Structure 1
Amino acid sequence: MAQTYEERPRRRGRRWLVVLVVLVLILGGLLVVADRVAAGLAERAIADQVQQAITEQDASSAPPQVDVGGFPFLTQVVDGRYERISIVLTDVQGSVEGNAVSLPRLDVDARNVRAPLDTIRSGQGEVVAETVAGTGTVSYDSLAKLLDRPGLKLGEQNGKLAVTAPVDILGQKLTVTGTADVTVADDGKVSLKFADLNAQGLPAVPLARTLLNNYARGISVDVPLPSLPFQLNVRKVEPRPEGLTVTADAKDVPINSPS
């Protein structure tokens, strides 16, 4: 009998411990759900403000995809400072000198973002990022149109910008091929320098080579890019199969359009 008397309190104590653990897990789960719901609301509010800012820059895009990083989110709300906000823009359309330029995708990573609770809730005031880094891709078709050479096509070949174009040299219709060095000019334009162009069947006379070199100089230009959102400044360009990849950054940038 004494042994049974001792076991009952122990069992009751274990039951209360199990109940307590279950309650803690449920409460923790509810807090996580609430945290994610609040983050989702903030992401939608920021996406709306980003879309408005892009429109005011005479550009357009598909609805922005926004992800607020850092956990827990609610403590960041109270503090008014967010570790990271990632923004993905697709089908970005801008224009340069009347020509449409498309960026199939622009990834933006904003760090140390200052966004007071009232700003997120009302949409009034600025959401400012301490640093912003962006990576976008300019389609080769858009870039070729800026060069304004009939039949010219651009692409990537072994990490370089490759060109194919029809030319008329000394009465012969030839196809020119070659590659270009791509750099960022001091004014933020993309500098294209075509050097070693060749054309199969090129007449073996000095004048033919001179005309081909003249064509190369004619398409070796500084190409302006459309104004990127968030005051991004181009730092690097790199030819890739999907297009010309542009890397840009900025500091202390509003990522919304304050009312």
Structure 2
Amino acid sequence: MIRPRELVSGAAARLRESGVASPEHDAAELLAHVLGTTRSRLPLVDDVSDAAAGEYDVLVARRAAREPLQHLTGVAWFRHVELAVGPGVFVPRPETELLAGWAIEHAGPGSVVVDLCTGSGAVAKAVADEVPGARVHAVELDEPAYAWAERNLAGTGVDLRQGDFATAFDDLLGTVDVVTCNPPYIPLEAWESVAPEARDHDPHLALFSGADGLDAIRVLAHRAARLLRPGGLLGFEHADVQGESAPAVLTATGRWVDVRDHHDLAGRARFTTARLAR
């Protein structure tokens, strides 16, 4: 039998040496997962059996090899909802909760909300959860990611479809109140700078978008303009280095007003919002 504190301390050291960004958090989260408890309740655990310690050691080794924490636990939390995640779907990041929060703030009962490139369904599920009565639609092209979204959005009332966001929802043209999107936005030349957790495990369709990372955003600017009613709102995430170039894509079309960029909690440029001109 081994004390949890000793296990977590040793695991955190291994993860730190492997370059994991949050070694203490991840080490504790993995042990809580193995023990079927929560991180906050680990101090209440007296000892860990040899069998559990062996299972934990395997998971720590996989995390040290930079397999995403959420793939190991099978769960990602996003605002107030739980998401099932694993190989084949982009793991939602905490920064994207800000985009979802913006959408929730601007949607209301009866609002028509469309989430393009929905991935795991995180934003769509959060909006459906926090805005009762909103009519939420979502689309995902990639088949494995769509399967995860289907699982996560079951029973939520979200209208989930499989297809290309560039052509989706012809039946909603000109009627949508809010469009959200977390598109691919990493330049192809930035391959080496992407964290192994994303580069080696997230679908590349969800990551990379042409030479400058803006190809999908250009398509989004056109499609959202067709989906939204006059005065409708668009919000989309982008890379922290695209705080000027991403809004400029909208401005250049002449179809958008109130184009504004927003920072995340670390002060980095994170998402752009705009209103379709009337």
Fold shared per TM-score above 0.5? no
Which structure shows the bigger proportion of residues in strand conformation?
A: 1
Instruction: Determine which structure has greater relative contact order: mean sequence separation of CA pairs < 8 Å that are 6+ residues apart, divided by chain length.
Output: 1
Q: TM-score, normalised by structure 1?
A: 0.27
Structure number, greater radius of gyration: 1
Which structure shows the bigger proportion of residues in helix conformation?
A: 2
